[in-house]
Structure 1
Amino acid sequence: MKTTLATLLASVALVGAAQACEITLRSSDTHPEGYPTVVAVQKMGELLEERSDGRICVEVFHSAQLGEEKDTIEQTQLGVIDLNRVSLGPFNNIIEETKVFSLPYIFAGTDHMHKVVDGEIGDRILNEFQNHQLVGLAYYDGGSRSFYNSQKPIHSIDDMSGMKFRVMQSDVFVDMVDALGGNATPLPYGEVYSSIQTGVIDGAENNWPSYESSGHYEVAGYYTLDQHLIVPEVLVMSQTSWNKLSAEDQALVKQAAKDSVPVMRQLWAEREAASEEKVRASGVEVVADIDKKPFMDAMVPVYEKHVTSEKLKTLVEDIRAAQ
């Protein structure tokens, strides 16, 4: 009874806070409370409320309360959700230009990725969202993804031969694993732990925080830092919601989003370091000294298949030149 009453009072408080603002922007995130992306959007809300003299607020619905990313993207396009923090992967089949950030080894490292997304190339891709009922506001970090498995340490491409790896439901990711000699198995994220445990798959690929927080390190004790993907995440706004704002308020929203980025990056760096420390302390065998060149060379057919238009080819060339 006490818990129910506390929940009710919290709900009333939330509604009261929302009613105090002229405009309340509903924001979706699949990550849990306290995750760097969630905290960053909450910070954006604080900045907006302060700079608008309390007129504009942001209410963040974390932990996939409003649905998984595919569903929330559609709801944002329709104007049901105002703001949405989403991985770029789900946009690959909607906005062609976002594919380039999902290409294996497109970035030489995190600093290179930051340089690209913070500059003209990043803005060029954010501008493409306006053709899909969305406004691209800012990029957040998603870490570098590496392979982990339950069978053996991976030191080279040869070690991946025939191994079954879970990937997101993305053609690029499937082709990447296949090009490395492995067997790509698209699976929902929530099924990975049990699938590794029961031998349905040998492993998966992800960043330090996800590898740790999911508990995958408990059943897949070999982690190879090949860092094949450094895919940024994106904060978008519904075009419908955006159009309801004055030009002055639009500028406030855009600036608050940009100003939340350094906050997110700092939190991400801290989270990444803490997760790595916990994983290493657990006894996981980490392969850090790996020659990435053979892995990168194996991606030629992946690029040939997915980088087909002149626009994408130009983007790839510009990204590489930005190093």
Structure 2
Amino acid sequence: MFTRRNFLATSLGALAAPALTACSRSSNAAPAGAQLLTATDVHVADYPTVTAVKWIGQTLEEKTGGRLRLRQYHSGQLGRESEAIDMARFGAIDITRVYSGALNNAFPLTQGLCLPYVFESVAHMRRALDGGVADTVLQGFETRDLVGLAIYDSGARCFYNTKHPIVEPKDLHGLKLRVASSDIFIQLMRLLGANPTPMSLGDTFSGMETHMIDGAENNMRSFHSSRHFEAAHYWSQSDHSYAPDVLLMSRQSFDALSPADRTLVIETARESVQVMREQWDASENTARQAVADFGIKFNEVDMPAFRKAADPLLQRYLQQPELAALTRRIRDFA
């Protein structure tokens, strides 16, 4: 029977085959036994996660004399994040970068990275991830046909909308806000009084332009690269989550590598975290300046009020022993 799974595998095979043929026929032909890895991301070509994975590909190619190569499909060329996760699980693609919120249901430990006001700052998050939290979460992917390669941070998630500044939770009441398909974020928006509307990142701009939604929540870099600032002119610095991104590899693809190559891929992926962070910091500052020059109205929020409003959700999730233990470890790095 021709299923969706078959379709994804067949479609990617059709895309990747010409690339592999082109590599073998180029003047810089790949050596015998060369392997072409495919990677996906919904973000644009100069987004820090995309450039970090590009760095991984370049490093692997240099260290193996061209035997391991990587081809990227950025800007959502191969579909949405939910589709990319399935494609990686079934071996249709090799590597994908996805937002941790999209992984919450299948991989419960990722919920600890997404809960509201668990991290105090980007610096706190990085200390926690580097201090062993990342390793614990990445190990959890082994049960579902995936290999956790690295965790990339993703800045502070804040509210932006087309209507007015958001200073207190009551300012969210009645607003229709785009959220990713994550139970945590859907529940959080409802708790704060907003009307959560699950929607892909690619559909959000048109959703605001056509008044299907009033705004969204995301990080500054995505606010800029998606050009959402052209539709939503109010940015409210709520810092309600620092939910990071996760770099995953197909277990099938990983197991097909030699033991030495598996070690090389993991080591290179972990090294790419610092590459990503440096590019993130620089590009986030550039993005903030760009949207400020456009005329975006920035405001601070009543942080104690937001923390208090979000706390019931946090406490509900912390009833789970594993999440409570992970959160205590995160708090230790504050």
CA-CA distance at 1:215 after TM superposition: 2.4
Contact 2:128 2:329 (8 Å CA) reproduced: no
Q: Provide the rounded CA distance (Å) in 2 between the counterparts of 1:41 and 1:126.
A: 17
SS of the residue aligned with 2:238? strand
Match of residue 314 from structure 2: 303
Q: TM-score, normalised by structure 1?
A: 0.91
CA-CA distance at 1:316 after TM superposition: 1.3
Match of residue 30 from structure 2: 20
User: Structure 2: 5+ residue runs without aligned partners?
Assistant: 1-17
Larger deviation: 277-286 or 150-159?
150-159
Match of residue 89 from structure 2: 77
Q: TM-score, normalised by structure 2?
A: 0.88
Q: Provide the rounded CA distance (Å) in 2 between the counterparts of 1:19 and 1:88.
A: 37
CA-CA distance at 1:10 after TM superposition: 8.7
Distance 1:319 1:299, change over 3 A: same
CA-CA distance at 1:12 after TM superposition: 6.4
**Which stretches of structure 1, 4 residues or more, deviate above 4 A after TM superposition?**
9-15
Q: Provide the rounded CA distance (Å) in 2 between the counterparts of 1:194 and 1:67.
A: 18
Per-residue CA deviation, residues 145-199 of structure 1 (Å, 9 max, x unaligned), is 1101111112222222222222112111111112212222222323322332333
Match of residue 11 from structure 2: none
CA-CA distance at 1:282 after TM superposition: 1.3
User: Structure 1: 5+ residue runs without aligned partners?
Assistant: 1-8
Distance 1:188 1:49, change over 3 A: closer
Match of residue 56 from structure 2: 44
Contact 1:172 1:306 (8 Å CA) reproduced: no
Which residues in structure 2 correspond to 1:28-177 (within 5 Å)?
28-177=40-189
User: Which residue identity is paired with 1:157?
Assistant: P
SS of the residue aligned with 1:201? coil
Q: Provide the rounded CA distance (Å) in 2 between the counterparts of 1:110 and 1:140.
A: 11
Match of residue 271 from structure 1: 283
Q: Provide the rounded CA distance (Å) in 1 between the counterparts of 2:20 and 2:209.
A: 39
User: Which residue identity is paired with 2:319?
Assistant: T
Q: Provide the rounded CA distance (Å) in 1 between the counterparts of 2:205 and 2:298.
A: 19
User: Which residue identity is paired with 1:222?
Assistant: Y
CA-CA distance at 1:78 after TM superposition: 1.4
Q: Provide the rounded CA distance (Å) in 1 between the counterparts of 2:189 and 2:136.
A: 29
Q: Provide the rounded CA distance (Å) in 1 between the counterparts of 2:270 and 2:63.
A: 14
Per-residue CA deviation, residues 43-78 of structure 1 (Å, 9 max, x unaligned), is 111111222232211121212222221111111111
User: Which residue identity is paired with 1:207?
Assistant: N
Distance 1:34 1:14, change over 3 A: farther
Which residues in structure 2 correspond to 1:287-302 (within 5 Å)?
287-288=299-300, 290-302=301-313
Match of residue 318 from structure 1: 329
SS of the residue aligned with 1:226? strand
Q: Provide the rounded CA distance (Å) in 2 between the counterparts of 1:179 and 1:79.
A: 38
- Out of 249, 256, 270, the residue aligned to residue 237 of structure 1 is 249
Number of aligned pairs? Answer: 314
Per-residue CA deviation, residues 90-144 of structure 1 (Å, 9 max, x unaligned), is 1111111111111111110101111111221110110111111111111112221
Q: Provide the rounded CA distance (Å) in 2 between the counterparts of 1:277 and 1:112.
A: 24
User: Which residue identity is paired with 1:315?
Assistant: L
Matched, 1:220 2:242: no
Distance 1:267 1:83, change over 3 A: same
